[in-house]
Amino acid sequence: MELNRESRQVGLARALSKLGFCSRSQAVKFIHAGRVQLNGATRRDPETPVRLQLDRIEVDGNAITAESRFYLMMNKPRGVVTTASDEKGRETVYSYLGETLPWVGPVGRLDKASEGLLLFTNDSEWAARISDPNSHLDKTYHVQVGALAGEGLAEKLVRGVFADGELLRAKEARVLRAGEKNTWLEIVLDEGKNRQIRRMFEHLRIEVLRLVRVAVGPLALGQLAKGQHRVLSTMEKVALDQTVAISRGKDRILETQ
């Protein structure tokens, strides 16, 4: 028998994340520091059960209510790390978001040397769906390599290479343009493996000069300037959601065959 929605329980840290107040890891720190109260009592266990529709949560004495949902895209500059704070004092993506927005967290990651399209949201469930490797959401990259490369290299990337005992391959790859000493390629991935493109080229002993993510599913970076961000339109979010739903539907069909 399905529980009434108001009686469903989640852990305290997850509740703060679901309400859009902060990330779950940040919530754990707040809770351990004794800054979070549940129904007037300080709780230090991040797994303390919470009924979202019934219980009162406070941080530093301030009541926490559900934030309006925000869905943003940024053109992440090169040399910036995708974290809220950095122990080495490096510049983070949050320095480009300003102080007028509520808390939003990155959906997935781009490493320090990579640039381009990065999503942010305070909707933790949506972020989980978009970043789930099982969604097989296409991510498109333009990659400049320090070598002259023809279609043979593109074909090799699609066939895949074994690196660290793992098969790494592109869903699609093609040459965009070639100069005298380097080549730009377009590479599409539908897997979420760590540093996948860089690892493929490291295995092939080809230097990556630039790596720019230009699209996530149907959402394109377009003319958004470096370091700038904007809110997704309703149509853009719907298109992303539909793409993920269709992909998941295909996976379920394959599992039953």
- What's the fold here for domain 138-216? Pseudouridine synthase (3.30.2350)
Residue 148: closest CA among 102, 180, 191:
180
Given a cut of 60, is residue 136 above it in pLDDT?
yes
Given a cut of 80, is residue 92 above it in pLDDT?
yes
Q: How confident is the model at residue 63 (pLDDT cuts 50, 70, 90)?
A: confident
Q: How confident is the model at residue 249 (pLDDT cuts 50, 70, 90)?
A: low
Q: Which two tokens stand for residue 31?
A: 């809770």
- Alpha helices (H) along the chain: 12-18, 24-32, 124-131, 151-159, 196-203, 234-256
Please tell me the predicted confidence (pLDDT) of residue 117.
Answer: 98
Please tell me the predicted confidence (pLDDT) of residue 164.
Answer: 83
How far apart are alpha carbons 66 and 19 in whole angstroms? 4
111 is catalytic: yes
Which of the two residues, 18 and 205, has the higher pLDDT score? 205
Contact (Cβ atoms closer than 8 angstroms) between residue 19 and residue 52:
yes
Q: What is the pLDDT of residues 40-56, one digit of tens each?
A: 899 999 999 988 778 88
Domain residue spans in the chain? 5-63, 71-134+220-256, 138-216
How far, rounded to the nearest angstrom, does the alpha carbon of residue 129 sit from its chain's CA centroid?
10
How far apart are alpha carbons 257 and 15 in whole angstroms? 38
Please tell me the predicted confidence (pLDDT) of residue 7.
Answer: 54
* pLDDT above 90 coverage of the chain, percent: 53
Which of the two residues, 246 and 155, has the higher pLDDT score? 155
- Mean per-residue pLDDT of the chain: 87
Mean pLDDT lowest among 56-60, 133-137, 252-256: 252-256
Q: What is the average pLDDT across 213-226?
A: 96
CATH of domain 5-63: 3.10.290.10
Q: How confident is the model at residue 256 (pLDDT cuts 50, 70, 90)?
A: very low
In terms of phi and psi (left: phi > 0; alpha: psi -120 to 50; beta: otherwise), the region of 247 is: alpha
Q: What is the average pLDDT across 47-69?
A: 84
Q: What is the average pLDDT across 152-157?
A: 92
Contact (Cβ atoms closer than 8 angstroms) between residue 240 and residue 144:
no
In terms of phi and psi (left: phi > 0; alpha: psi -120 to 50; beta: otherwise), the region of 255 is: alpha
Are the folds of 5-63 and 71-134+220-256 the same?
no
Could you tell me which CATH class the domain 71-134+220-256 is placed in? alpha beta
Please tell me the predicted confidence (pLDDT) of residue 3.
Answer: 44
- What does pTM read for this prediction? 0.78
For residue 94, the SS3 value is helix
The residue from 55, 86, 111, 164 that is catalytic is: 111
